[in-house]
Amino acid sequence: MTVQLWRTDALMRELTVARIRTRLDREELRRVRRGVYAAESCDDDDLLRALMLRLPDGAMLTRQSAARRHGFGVLREDLVHIQLPANVPKPRLPGVVVHRSVLSVRPVLVGGLPCVPAARCAVDLARAVRRLDALPVLDAALRSGAVSQDDLLAEVSAHDALRGVRQARQLILLADGRAECRQESQLRLILVDGGLPAPEPQLWVTDGFGIPLYRLDLGYRERRVGVEYDGLSHLDRDRLRHDRERVNWLDASGWRMRYFTDRDLYRRPDYVKATVRGALS
């Protein structure tokens, strides 16, 4: 249920200052943000709605904040990212980052919050963040179903001559909604940027009867080479037993598996490329 919020001016049309203070003392009223009040506790989206009441007309969520609402929030959202029209004065609010855009955009409501449309959000992020983070955003946007590749290509065509548009355009062609996590997308990008063929995400390996048996993070089907990212979930004992059985079956079936961790991904990309190149050759 949506929590009802009041701005100070609206509340004072119903209550005196003294009555407002009394209700605050009795915890019948809570100050959500400066100048915004609620009669009950608020969740994260209610806090954002309270923030929007403090912002000028035309304000909408963008970048990481909009991506999360659209279903592809794979990047950290430490601050609230807001987009404002170019001619509106920039407010100074703690925890808020204000973005401007030379491109006009009409907001869409997601959970009652005004956001830039999904395709605009994905392309803006793909232009603005580092390459290693941009592909995971595009992969996740496709996986969420919020956009199609055609949507992204149509959107990026409106961003010609803007900073980062070349990166966004290149990565849209590489984006694949089958990727299931940020690290899988990053691992695939390291291999492609290293001059290796693009591996297939979430590749199913079948048994002798053609029944799908095991799924690999990334793989080269014809060469029988699999590439996997090992995160914290692989430290679980039951998962470890399953993994060992899986590795033995794949090895016996002629698959050459290569495994990488966060250390390899973020500190030793050359090692990743060399290892997979060796397996392929």
pLDDT at 22 over 80: no
- Residue 243's pLDDT is 83
Q: CA 180, CA 95: separation in Å to the nearest integer?
A: 30
* Cα Rg of the chain, angstroms: 24
Given a contact cutoff of 8 angstroms between Cβ atoms, the answer to whether 271 and 264 are in contact is yes
- pTM reported for the whole predicted model: 0.85
Distance CA 235, CA 238 (A): 9
Got the DSSP string for the chain? -PPPEEEHHHHHTTS-HHHHHHHHHTTSSEEEETTEEESS---HHHHHHHHHHHSPTT-EE-HHHHHHHHT---S---SEEEE--TTSPPP--TTEEEE--SS----EEETTEEE--HHHHHHHHHHHS-HHHHHHHHHHHHHHTS--HHHHHHHHGGGTTSTTHHHHHHHHHH--TT--SHHHHHHHHHHHHTTPPPPEEEEEEE-TTS-EEEEEEEEETTTTEEEEE--GGGGSHHHHHHHHHHHHHHHHTT-EEEEE-HHHHHH-HHHHHHHHHHHH-
Q: What is the pLDDT of residue 2?
A: 62
d(CA 3, CA 279): 56
Q: Report pLDDT for 87.
A: 82
- What pLDDT digit, counting tens, does each position of 103-146 carry? 989 999 998 899 999 999 999 999 999 999 999 999 999 999 99
Least confident interval from 49-53, 85-89, 122-126, 130-134:
49-53
The boundaries of every CATH 3.40.960.10 domain in the chain are 182-280
Domain covering 182-280 in this structure, CATH number = 3.40.960.10
What is the pLDDT of the chain when averaged over all its residues? 88
pLDDT of residue 8: 67
pLDDT tens digits for range 174-221: 999 999 999 999 999 999 999 999 999 999 999 888 899 999 999 999
Return the pLDDT at 26.
Answer: 67
pLDDT at 33 over 70: no
Confidence of residue 170 (pLDDT cuts 50, 70, 90): very high
Q: What span, in angstroms and rounded, lies between the C-alpha atoms of 84 and 102? A: 11
Confidence band for 234, pLDDT divided at 50, 70 and 90: low
pLDDT average, residue stretch 35-53: 71
